[in-house]
Each structure stands twice: as C-alpha cells, then as structure tokens.
Amino acid sequence: MPRVFSGVKPSGDFHLGTYVGALRQWVAEQERNDALYCVVDLHALTEEIDPAYLRTMSFNAAVNLLAVGLDPEVATIFVQSHVAEHARLAWLLECTATMGELRRMTQFKAKAHGQETVRVGLFTYPALMAADILLYQADRVPVGDDQRQHLELTREIAQRFNARYGELFVVPEAAVPAIGARVMDLQHPDRKMSKSVDSPLGTIGVLDDPAQIDRKVKKAVTDTDGEMRYDPEKKPGLSNLLALMAVATQSTPEEVAARYTRYGDLKRDLAEALAELLRPVRERAAVLVDEPDTVHDVLRAGAERARAIASATYARAAEAMGLLS
Ligand code: TYM
C-alpha cells in the first residue's frame, strides 16, 4: 500500500484553509493508503508561542483531526515530539541541505521579514519538515499550495542523500488539490487565510457555528464591478468565494459562476453550504473535548506505531552517513 504522510502545526485554531487545502485530502487518502498524520509541535517552536497555549493547541489539534473524520483504526495520528527520530534525522538532513537552499525558502523570507531576532529553527525548519516526511518513506504528501516549495526541497535533499550515501529514501510527491489549494483571507483576499494573521473576520474556524460563518461570508470583501466571473488575479475576493462554493458543492468555480448573477445570492448560499460542510466536524469535536482520555490513547498508540517505522529509517540513515552503530 502506498504510504502517505502529512503534518499540521498546532500554532493556532484550524481554519477553512487548513480544512480545504489539506485535511479534506487527508481523510480521502486514509482509505486507500497507509496514512500517517502528525501534529508538528516542534515546528510550532520556531516562532514565539506560550508554553501552556502550545500544550492546549496540540491537544486541540488532535481533537480536530479526529473531528474532521480521520479514523485512528485506519490512519496513524501522533504528535511529532513523541517520536525522537524527527529531531535526530533533522540534524542529519541539516548536514545534507545547504545555506543557499534554505535561504531561498519564500516562507522563511516572509516570516523573517522585518523581525529583529529570528530563531535558528525558523531557518532550518524545512530540514525538519524533510525529516518528518523521509522518516516514513512517504510516497505522497497531501498539502496546500504554500508547502510546494518545501516539498521540492525535500525531494532535492532525498535525492542528494541517496546519491551520496546510497539509495535509502523514497522521493515523495506533493499532492495539492486542484481547487482550494490556496484559500484566501475573506477580508484581505490578497493574502492566504492563516492561523497567525490577526484577522478574525477574514478567517473561518473549522469549529465556527453557522451564525459566525454567515456573518463572515456576508462581510467578505469582493469588488464593485458586479461581474460574476472566476478570475483570481483580477477578482481575488469573488474568486475565493467561487472556489469555496465549488469545494462545498463538488463542482468547479466556473460552473458556480454560471449559476449566479448577484454576489449577495452567492454569499447567502455559500454561508449555508460551508455551515453544512463543517457541521459534522463541529458535532464530533463537541463530543471529543469531553473525552480527553480517548484522544490521549489515540496519540499514544499512534506514536508507538510511528516510532517503529521512524527508528528503523533513522538507524539506516545514521549508519549510511558513518555514525557508529
Ligand atoms: P500549516 O500548519 O501551516 O498548514 C497545514 C496544512 O494546511 C494547508 N493550508 C492551507 N491550504 C489552503 N489554503 C490556506 N489558506 C491554507 N493554510 C494552510 C497547508 O498547506 C498545510 O498542508 N510546514 C507545514 C507543516 C508540516 C508538514 C510537514 C506538512 C511540517 N512537517 C511534513 C507536510 C509534511 C505547515 O506549516 O503547515
């Protein structure tokens, strides 16, 4: 069975972008693949985060992964720091990647821009991400559009390692959805919906209730020419709504555009469709928050399974590089 791996940072509440760009694919992939999904708490340390908040958000992330429909009987769900090999392989890959490669990462440039102090971990982040993926010999990595460059670098690192030390790593492919790979902020359609952007009206949380969703969709920024057309360059706000409607109704943005003439009608139906799309997530999460033991049991079993795979790969990589076994 092909192997699938992906991760999500517990640095804030999951939003519609996380769900549409990544988690929906995670659920679809779990049926036909050996899937491992990880709450990447080590990655959350690359920027300032309160320790108690990180702990809470890591637990909430696990709740949300179960709530979106991941089945712990089928997929392996675990926390990155529970498997020590992530940090250990990251070091070996930091000694495989180059400064120039890491410096080119647009996410690093964007996050470091204007900051007085930047953590070393923010710079080496992509090597840790490569370790996450390569430890499990993943064939496919379901991610949103913003992770493409990191995946390219992961492939590059794997190929270099294989060429230098012998064929060891599977070279993974990014699996990016055709629609919804880049969900934009509803108030600032020129930037992606994000956990870190302080834009409560522009961000729909996966656990938002129908009234909150309705309010945010109705207030979404569009344009004034009134032309119902999918054109992400010239009409980013409207195109974002059309793409979301396409995801919610399993059609294409162009088909959705052909069904409407007025922005108001589109917004009304979109708010309803999104509330319906997220309803099962909200309902399952409400049950799971009261069952912390179940969630911790899932994470414990997940870490155990992940560790068995990760330790075998790490041992081979360490030996290939010349570390005494
Ligand atoms: P993170 O936590 O920022 O996002 C998790 C996943 O959600 C996708 N995503 C989006 N997709 C569409 N529109 C958006 N507005 C949007 N915002 C987020 C992301 O593309 C991602 O797939 N570096 C990763 C975490 C990571 C990882 C890995 C992923 C660490 N190790 C190994 C895959 C494999 C990150 O920060 O994702």
Cβ 172 under 6 angstroms from ligand 1: no
Q: Tell me which H or E stretch contains 3.
A: strand 3-8
Rg (CA), the chain: 20
Identify the sign of the CA torsion 73, 79, 81, 85.
positive
Q: What is the pLDDT of residue 195?
A: 83
Q: Model's pTM, two decimal places? A: 0.97
pLDDT digits over 79-128, tens only?
Answer: 999 999 999 999 999 999 999 999 999 999 999 999 999 999 999 999 99
Q: Tell me which H or E stretch contains 155.
A: helix 148-165
Residue boundaries of the structural domains of the chain? 3-180+291-320, 210-286
Q: From the CA of 149, how far away is ligand 1's center (Å)?
A: 12
pLDDT digits over 147-194, tens only?
Answer: 999 999 999 999 999 999 999 999 999 999 999 999 999 999 999 999
Residues sharing a CB contact under 8 Å with residue 69, sequence separation 6 or more, in sequence order = 27, 280, 281, 284
Please name the residue ranges forming H helices in 20-165.
24-32, 41-44, 51-67, 85-94, 99-103, 106-112, 120-135, 148-165
From atom 36 of ligand 1, which residue's Cα is the shortest distance away?
9
Side chain identity at 284, as an amino acid letter? R
Determine contact, residues 206/15, Cβ cutoff 8 Å.
yes
- Distance separating alpha carbons of residues 17 and 194, to the nearest angstrom: 7
Q: What is the pLDDT of residue 206?
A: 97
The fold of 3-180+291-320 is: Rossmann fold (3.40.50)
pLDDT digits over 117-128, tens only?
Answer: 999 999 999 999
Average pLDDT of the chain to the nearest whole number: 97
Q: Which of 36, 40, 184 maximizes ligand 1 atoms within 8 Å of its Cβ, making it the mutation to test the pocket?
A: 40
Cβ 131 under 6 angstroms from ligand 1: no
Identical fold at 3-180+291-320 and 210-286? Answer: no
Cβ 202 under 6 angstroms from ligand 1: no
Tell me the average pLDDT across 231-257: 97
- Distance separating alpha carbons of residues 38 and 36, to the nearest angstrom: 7
The percent of residues in the chain predicted with pLDDT above 70, rounded, is: 100
pLDDT digits over 10-66, tens only?
Answer: 998 999 999 999 999 999 999 999 999 999 999 999 999 999 999 999 999 999 999
- Of 299, 21, 3, the residue nearest 180 (C-alpha): 21
CA count, 13 A, side-chain hemisphere, 77: 28
Supply 287's token pair: 């049950």
Tell me the average pLDDT across 271-291: 97
Q: Tell me which H or E stretch contains 109.
A: helix 106-112
Q: Tell me which H or E stretch contains 304.
A: helix 292-321
Determine contact, residues 257/229, Cβ cutoff 8 Å.
yes
DSSP reduced 3-state for 142 = strand
Q: CA 107 → CA 110, 122, 189, 190, 296, distances in Å?
A: 5, 9, 18, 16, 32
Sheet with 34-39: list strands edge to edge: 76-79, 34-39, 3-8, 140-142, 173-175
Side chain identity at 317, as an amino acid letter? A
Q: From the CA of 165, how far away is ligand 1's center (Å)?
A: 30
Note if 195 is an active site residue. Answer: yes
pLDDT digits over 172-183, tens only?
Answer: 999 999 999 999
Q: Which of 86, 147, 239 maximizes ligand 1 atoms within 8 Å of its Cβ, making it the mutation to test the pocket?
A: 147
pLDDT digits over 194-242, tens only?
Answer: 987 688 999 999 999 999 999 999 999 999 999 999 999 999 999 999 9
Note if 234 is an active site residue. Answer: no
Query: CATH class for domain 210-286?
Result: mainly alpha
Determine contact, residues 146/106, Cβ cutoff 8 Å.
no
